[in-house]
């Protein structure tokens, strides 16, 4: 299977990062989003991040210009019909992903590979609702995509070998490294990471430490580059909660119960950096803990 044209569904933080690395790797990229403003913002973000790479001498001016020339945008999902590979990078909600695939599938070529950037949802279940479960797999990039070198590849129960090998080839062409995960809730990275973040929220909830103490302890005590609460704000508290719910529902183990304080922050709309407040308040010059 030869991949030449890549479609990316969703122009948010993950989607524009995926479009960025695909265009830079030489693929023709079609980025789509139902929100025209998000689509324009996504393109601007890609341009800004490419400029940053040029300024740091990671890429040349020619690389940057060629990548932007390979990038197109559309607000019409059906325009992705001619793509060889589609990577869905919409919100981490299964009903939204199902709706996208239902609308997209009738427009695709029979040989098109369909993938999801989901960080936790069952690939087998998503694939089963399409017409091509054998050509469907999980393609989970890490955030921020242009910087992080890992991609989790997740086979569904029906994913065939040719599809998997093609996806592995794409990962290599992007200059990234694949970690192959089985299709169980949250796969590898988030199966380990999210319970750690959730436990940090419990430590805050129970008054064992405040926000600064918890993050300082993990940064200086375990050499993490970012504290767990700071990282949760970066990821998005709604995404953290969604993944914990997938773990709790999918594995039926009380150790994955989301902390009530995490739920409370999400109910308040304090989702982290993207909303200006989470465990830190980002509305001033410097982040200030909210607890």
Q: What is the pLDDT of residues 160-197, one digit of tens each?
A: 999 999 999 999 999 999 999 999 999 999 999 999 99
List the structure tokens of 37: 């403003």
Phi and psi angles of residue 193, each rounded to the nearest 5 degrees, phi first? -70, -45
Give the class (CATH, top level) of 5-181. Answer: alpha beta
pLDDT tens per residue across span 55-86: 999 999 999 999 999 999 999 999 999 999 99
pLDDT value for 214: 98
pLDDT value for 190: 95
CATH number corresponding to 190-289: 1.10.1040.10
Give span(s): CATH 3.40.50.720, the chain: 5-181
User: At 159, is the pLDDT very low, low, confident or very high (cuts 50, 70, 90)?
Assistant: very high
User: At 266, is the pLDDT very low, low, confident or very high (cuts 50, 70, 90)?
Assistant: very high
Percent above pLDDT 70 for the chain: 100
CA distance 246 to 236: 16
Give span(s): CATH 1.10.1040.10, the chain: 190-289
Q: Would you give the DSSP letter of residue 12?
A: S
Catalytic residues: 119, 140, 152, 190
Query: If you average pLDDT over residues 108-116, what whole number do you get?
Result: 97
pLDDT(131) > 90: yes
pLDDT value for 99: 97
pLDDT value for 1: 79
pLDDT(257) > 90: yes
Mean pLDDT over all residues of the chain?
A: 96
pLDDT tens per residue across span 245-255: 999 999 999 99
User: At 92, is the pLDDT very low, low, confident or very high (cuts 50, 70, 90)?
Assistant: confident
pLDDT tens per residue across span 189-220: 999 999 999 999 999 999 999 999 999 999 99
**CA 238 → CA 2, 13, 80, 241, 265, distances in Å?**
37, 14, 29, 5, 9
pLDDT(228) > 90: yes
Percent above pLDDT 90 for the chain: 97
At 181 the three-state DSSP class reads strand
Report which of 238, 240, 227 is spatially closest to residue 280, judged by C-alpha positions.
227
């Amino acid at each position: 299977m030869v991949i030449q044209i890549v479609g990316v569904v969703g122009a948010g933080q993950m989607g524009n990062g995926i479009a960025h690395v695909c265009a830079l790797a030489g693929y023709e990229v079609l980025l789509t989003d139902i929100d025209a403003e998000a689509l324009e913002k996504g393109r601007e973000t890609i341009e800004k991040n490419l400029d940053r790479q040029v300024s740091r001498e990671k890429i040349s001016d020619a690389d940057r210009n060629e990548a932007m020339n390979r990038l197109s945008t559309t607000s019409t999902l059906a325009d992705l019909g001619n793509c060889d590979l589609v990577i869905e990078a919409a919100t981490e909600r299964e009903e939204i992903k199902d709706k996208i695939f239902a609308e997209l599938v009738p427009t695709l070529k029979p040989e098109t590979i369909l993938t999801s950037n989901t960080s936790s949802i069952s690939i087998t279940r998503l694939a089963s609702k399409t017409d091509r479960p054998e050509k469907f797999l999980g393609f989970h990039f890490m955030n921020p995509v242009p910087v992080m070198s890992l991609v989790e590849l997740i086979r569904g129960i029906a994913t065939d070998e040719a599809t998997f090998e093609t996806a592995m080839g794409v990962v290599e062409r992007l200059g990234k490294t694949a970690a192959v995960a089985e299709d169980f809730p949250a796969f590898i990275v988030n199966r380990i990471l999210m319970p750690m973040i959730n436990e940090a929220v419990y430590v805050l909830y129970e008054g064992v430490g405040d926000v600064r103490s918890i993050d300082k302890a993990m940064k200086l005590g375990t050499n993490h580059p970012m504290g767990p609460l700071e990282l949760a704000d970066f990821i998005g508290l709604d995404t953290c909660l969604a993944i914990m719910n997938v773990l709790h529902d999918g594995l039926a183990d009380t150790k994955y119960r989301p902390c009530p304080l995490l739920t409370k922050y999400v109910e308040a709309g304090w989702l982290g950096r993207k909303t200006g407040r989470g465990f830190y308040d980002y509305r001033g010059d410097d982040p200030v803990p909210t607890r």
